[in-house]
């Protein structure tokens, strides 16, 4: 598509609408959080983030987010491989099911986990508690971030040339060796981009985590749930400090996403040029 430098009144008007829209919905909240958090300097922020319950919330948020990323990376690659390389009955249904977290309300997802794993639930466990415990939060984070690796790796897999794989099999390479040496390097940018999206989604989840975890302070309270409780308790410094920390983390994730996207585009352009 040809890029146009806005010069006409209508073009400038449309540009102005876009800038105002972004400023009101994105920049204004970010600036407000930064201003409120830094109003009294850095010392209150450090003090607020050093409280034991805050450290615990950050710890379980980090580790459970990491667990969700690991699960969805491994199984996301497997699902992408099955959808791209195999033909079977029910493939279209599976393809649709993968996208359910995109349209499913997180609150309903949390309630569904309670129905499944809560007391008298369909899959109620007897040994390990899931509902109102850390395993339930892990399941919630895994559910809401499930599609990203699959949807980023699938298109890359679909564009790969099969000849190098066939040549590797002809030379006696195993399926695992062929995947590790030939396929994995080509789909690596897509995997990393999907991992970053999964990380961002799991890190910021609130609805499903709040329902299935219960937000018990010092036990199942995550970083986002701490912000909600701090606001309810009129602990503005704590809420702003945690929001600032999560916001900085989100900006870092965004920068990584942009860099990885450039890498993916570069890899795809190089592949197309070589194929041509």
- Looking at the structure, do residues 245 and 160 belong to the same domain, yes or no? yes
Residues in the chain: 276
Q: Are residues 18 and 97 in the same domain?
A: no
pLDDT in tens, 142-188: 999 999 999 999 998 988 888 888 888 888 888 888 888 888 888 88
In whole angstroms, give the CA distance from residue 40 to residue 105. 37
Regions of the chain where pLDDT drops below 50: 1
Average pLDDT across the chain, whole number: 87
Which residues neighbour 261 within 8 Å (Cβ) at sequence distance 6 or greater? 193
- Residue 99 pLDDT: 93
Within this chain, do residues 60 and 182 fall inside the same structural domain, yes or no?
A: yes
In a domain, 271, yes or no: yes
Angle, helices 52-85/184-203, rounded to nearest 10 degrees: 140
Both tokens of 163, joined, read 């000849």
Domain that residue 14 falls in: 9-39
Q: What is the pLDDT of residue 55?
A: 95
For the entire predicted model, the pTM comes to 0.85
Q: Are residues 145 and 232 in the same domain?
A: yes
- Cα 50 → chain centroid: 26
Q: What is the pLDDT of residue 262?
A: 74
Number of domains in the chain: 2
Whole-number pLDDT of residue 273: 60
Q: Count Cβ atoms below 10 Å from residue 193 Cβ, excluding itself.
A: 23
């Amino acid at each position: 598509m040809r890029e146009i430098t806005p010069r006409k009144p209508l073009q400038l008007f449309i540009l102005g609408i876009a800038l105002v829209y972004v400023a009101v919905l994105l920049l204004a909240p970010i600036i407000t959080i930064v201003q409120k958090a830094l109003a009294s300097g850095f010392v209150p922020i450090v003090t607020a983030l050093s409280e034991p319950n805050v450290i615990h919330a950050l710890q379980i948020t980090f580790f459970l987010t990491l667990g969700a990323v690991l699960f969805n990376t491994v199984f996301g690659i497997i699902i992408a491989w099955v959808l791209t390389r195999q033909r079977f009955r029910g493939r279209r249904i599976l393809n649709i099911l993968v996208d359910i977290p995109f349209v499913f309300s997180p609150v309903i997802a949390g309630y569904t986990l309670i129905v499944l794993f809560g007391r008298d639930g369909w899959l109620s466990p007897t040994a390990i508690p899931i509902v109102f415990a850390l395993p339930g939060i892990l399941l919630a984070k895994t559910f809401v971030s499930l599609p990203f690796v699959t949807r980023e790796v699938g298109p890359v897999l679909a564009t790969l040339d099969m000849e190098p794989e066939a040549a590797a099999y002809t030379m006696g390479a195993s399926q695992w060796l062929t995947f590790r040496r030939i396929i994995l390097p080509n789909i690596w940018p897509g995997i990393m981009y999907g991992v970053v999206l999964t990380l961002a989604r799991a890190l910021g989840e609130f609805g499903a985590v709040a329902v299935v975890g219960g937000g018990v302070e010092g036990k199942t309270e995550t970083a986002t749930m701490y912000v909600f409780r701090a606001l309810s308790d009129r602990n503005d410094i704590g809420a702003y400090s945690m929001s600032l920390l999560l916001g900085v983390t989100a900006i870092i994730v965004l920068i990584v996403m942009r860099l990885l996207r450039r890498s993916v585009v570069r890899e795809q352009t190089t592949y197309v040029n070589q194929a041509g």
